[in-house]
A and B are shown apart, each in its own frame.
Chain A
Amino acid sequence: MIRIERNPAPSAATLALSYVGACVMGFAISALLIAATGYDPAEAFGAIWQGAVGSQTAMIGSLVKATPLILTGLAAAIAFRARLWSIGQEGQVYAGAMAGWCAVLLVPDAPALLLIPLALIFGAAGGAGLGAVAAGLRTRYGVNEIISTVMLNYIIVYLLSWLLSGGAWGEVGATVSYQQSPPAPEAAQLPNFDDRGRLHLGFAIALAASLACAALIARTPLGFEIRALGGNGEALRRRGVDVGRLTLVVMALSGALAGLAGIGEVLGVTDRLRGDELYGLGYAGVVIGLIAGLRPIGVLVAGLFFGGLANGAVFMSVLSDAPAALAQAIQGVLLISILCGGVAARTRLRRTVAHVG
């Protein structure tokens, strides 16, 4: 007889195997999906591969796309580690972009050396502020953070839409429906490592943030408290830790990372504030955080992977008429299969010998 039982501490090999199996499964399902919509899976994957890493320009483009995803992925991972199910990264990206834009509006004539750090600090603070609101709603009023962050996401997107179309920030003379600000001053544009592909300072920030988050979670007292809050909040409370304050710190930190992603896109890629360019970065970060098993270095890897996928999918959509939204579909499918893979790793089959006599 074979019994199914739980295996709370699977070995590294089991975990790796289930992970690889889940990825294979995810891609197989994605291939079926592509075939079902009338495209050739081999051609589509080939085009994505070529568009992601096929040339130097493609690779740089992938790194640029990966930059905000790594930051929002880290934002999700930090919050989820503390079992704070914040999906406010989406709104915090917008809040960061808007707060950073405020800095640009405040001192538009400042030199780059002053303006860029200021805009980045404002951006991080904007995201952190929105995260802090959700933390306050949870601690003060007991509002579930998933719901409050979703509501704040919608509210902040409408706020930006108002500022850009009817309000003070829109580009004068442009069609209202464009919903964009005038271009940023040259001094505000993030420095590039590569002139053709615009691999900007944000990528270095994302790399540094991954390492910093890994060190934070593994090696600092705050990291210990975050992990403890995720494990058993009650025990932490009994030890005298102020859980409300900790929640605030985690949510603000998570928001700051997402806010950096937002201002990085504005000053590194689009050079002006536009809502549509920021859409979906936060939700993709949730996928990346979960797929990476909430590990910062895993987020870095997954962020690079999905950056390549997004970049490759755009290339594919230019090459054929297959829609670039395939990237989002593959993201969703991979997420579900990796969740199931995680369950499979924590389950074992044991052959039980029937007792005779």
Chain B
Amino acid sequence: MSADLYDGAIVVSILAATLRTMTPLLFSAMGELVTQRAGIWNMSVEGAMLSGAFAAYIAIATTGSPVLALLAAIFAGMMVSLLNAILTASLKVDHFVAGLALNLLAAGLTLFWFRAFISGRGQPTFDGLAPPDWALADLPVLGPILFAQRPLTWLAFLCVPLVWFLLYRTRQGLELRCLGENPAVLDFKGVNVVARQYAASLFGGAMTGLGGGFLILAFSDRFLPDITAGRGWLVVVAIIAGGWRPLGVLAAVTVFAFLEALAIHAQVLGLGLPHQLFLAAPYIASLLLLTHLRHRDRQPALLGEVYRRGER
């Protein structure tokens, strides 16, 4: 009987952790989905998320305000995606090269800035985002899973139908999808292709930055140089594995987050497997997903292709 209770508590805890770890991935994935549908193969997601997390850290360590920290995270994510848009949409640099370069830039800058920030005084810790303390959170089972979550987690889930609505039920969404399929049509119509690609990039960067901010404020009380640990890349995988559709992306994100939640509980689960296997599970799963799900036909036709007026 008590063993059952204990098992039940673990399952509840894993599910609650799944929703929590989905949050940063979902924010970023919904944002980058919009960016990719606009034809930008953004490979700088990891860098944008890391920058968001770092900006949130600096902001909360100096001001103590989670709101300012989230705004700083959004701003930092937008800066990275702005650079990516300048390099890809304006300067027509290869999308892969631009993304790689920005990841390396973000990793180098945040590492240096972080070391400079803590140099000589040790690392300040902070109080991040606490889950709400209300009566619903005390409900059995559902309370901890659904209601003891931070409001941003609910917002992240709300983003899925919102982005779906934006993409498929609005004029802007139709034009946005057209950017990734046939930008020349929009150009003929007099729509500014480059400006739209900037807008889509900035939206993606803002959402990824917000994800990075949530990551540090909800999961940690300090900054670590590799705090994003490949989550930005998992977002890219989730978009591909989800076939560039909001619901598919949601499903892929759920898989990754569940595996990450299992890793958090590896000790309690006590399966006798190496801890590192749990940590590597999302990356192994992503390779399996990519080898077994093939949505080439759903990929935006001109994803990653440089658009130049009058060519092609």
Docked complex Cα distance between A328 and B117 (Å): 16
Stretch at the interface among B125-133, B169-177, B269-277: B269-277
B108 adjacent to A147 (CB under 8 Å): no
Contact with A along B100-129 (1 / 0, CB 8 A): 111011111101111111011000000000
B291 adjacent to A162 (CB under 8 Å): no
Query: Would you list which residues of chain B between 227 and 258 have a CB under 8 Å from chain A?
Result: 229-230, 233, 236-237, 240
A150 within 8 A of B: yes
A166 adjacent to B240 (CB under 8 Å): no
The smallest C-beta distance from A152 to any residue of chain B, in angstroms, reads 8
A329 within 8 A of B: yes
Contact with B along A316-327 (1 / 0, CB 8 A): 000001111110
B290 adjacent to A141 (CB under 8 Å): yes
For residue A76, which residue of chain B has the nearest CB?
Answer: B100
Query: Would you list which residues of chain B between 30 and 68 have a CB under 8 Å from chain A?
Result: 43
B83 within 8 A of A: yes
B290 adjacent to A155 (CB under 8 Å): no
A286 adjacent to B276 (CB under 8 Å): no
A147 adjacent to B237 (CB under 8 Å): yes
B119 adjacent to A326 (CB under 8 Å): no
Interface size in chain A (residues, C-beta < 8 A): 49
A154 adjacent to B116 (CB under 8 Å): no
Docked complex Cα distance between A205 and B249 (Å): 46
Complex contacts, A326 vs chain B, CB 8 Å: 112
Contact with B along A293-327 (1 / 0, CB 8 A): 00000000000000000000000000001111110
In terms of DSSP, what is the predominant structure of the interface of chain A? helix
A37 adjacent to B101 (CB under 8 Å): no
Q: Which of A137, A140, A287 contacts B104 (CB 8 A)?
A: A287
Docked complex Cα distance between A165 and B280 (Å): 15
B104 adjacent to A286 (CB under 8 Å): yes
B104 adjacent to A283 (CB under 8 Å): yes
Docked complex Cα distance between A85 and B236 (Å): 15
A340 within 8 A of B: yes
For residue B229, which residue of chain A has the nearest CB?
Answer: A154
B279 within 8 A of A: yes
A323 adjacent to B112 (CB under 8 Å): yes
Stretch at the interface among B86-94, B139-147, B186-194: B86-94
B112 adjacent to A339 (CB under 8 Å): no
A159 within 8 A of B: yes
The smallest C-beta distance from A51 to any residue of chain B, in angstroms, reads 16
Query: Would you list which residues of chain B between 211 and 239 have a CB under 8 Å from chain A?
Result: 229-230, 233, 236-237
A143 within 8 A of B: yes
A143 adjacent to B274 (CB under 8 Å): no
Most chain A CB within a 10 A radius of its CB, from B112, B117, B240: B112
B107 adjacent to A162 (CB under 8 Å): no
Stretch at the interface among A216-224, A235-243, A330-338: A330-338
Docked complex Cα distance between A172 and B6 (Å): 36
Q: How large is the interface on B (under 10, 10 to 19, 20 to 34, 35 or more residues)?
A: 35 or more
The smallest C-beta distance from B195 to any residue of chain A, in angstroms, reads 18
For residue A37, which residue of chain B has the nearest CB?
Answer: B116
Q: A37-B113, A142-B294, A148-B287 are in contact. Are A159 and B43 (CB under 8 A)?
A: no
Complex contacts, B230 vs chain A, CB 8 Å: 150-151, 154
Complex contacts, A85 vs chain B, CB 8 Å: 96-97, 100
B284 within 8 A of A: yes
Complex contacts, A325 vs chain B, CB 8 Å: 108, 111-112, 114-115
The smallest C-beta distance from B244 to any residue of chain A, in angstroms, reads 14
Most chain A CB within a 10 A radius of its CB, from B111, B116, B229, B294: B116
Docked complex Cα distance between A170 and B106 (Å): 33
The smallest C-beta distance from A263 to any residue of chain B, in angstroms, reads 22
Most chain B CB within a 10 A radius of its CB, from A137, A141, A151, A326: A151
Complex contacts, A37 vs chain B, CB 8 Å: 112-113, 116-117
27 A-B pairs in the complex with CB atoms less than 8 angstroms apart: A85-B96, A142-B294, A144-B240, A146-B43, A147-B240, A150-B230, A155-B284, A159-B276, A162-B274, A162-B276, A166-B274, A287-B104, A290-B97, A321-B119, A322-B119, A323-B119, A328-B108, A329-B111, A329-B112, A332-B104, A333-B105, A336-B87, A339-B93, A339-B98, A340-B87, A340-B91, A342-B93
Sorted from nearest, which 3 A-B pairs have the closest CB atoms?
Answer: A323-B115, A332-B105, A328-B108
Question: Knowing that A137-B291, A159-B276, A336-B87 are A-B contacts, what are 19 other residue pairs whose CB atoms are under 8 Å apart, sorted by A's residue number?
Answer: A38-B116, A137-B287, A143-B287, A147-B237, A147-B286, A150-B233, A151-B230, A152-B283, A154-B229, A159-B280, A162-B275, A166-B274, A325-B111, A329-B111, A330-B108, A335-B101, A336-B102, A336-B105, A343-B92
Q: Which residues of B contact A (CB under 8 A)?
A: 43, 83, 87, 91-93, 96-98, 100-102, 104-109, 111-117, 119-120, 229-230, 233, 236-237, 240, 274-277, 279-280, 283-284, 286-287, 290-291, 294, 296
Q: Which residues of A contact B (CB under 8 A)?
A: 33, 37-39, 85, 87, 137, 140-144, 146-148, 150-152, 154-155, 158-159, 161-162, 165-167, 283, 286-287, 290, 321-326, 328-333, 335-336, 339-340, 342-343
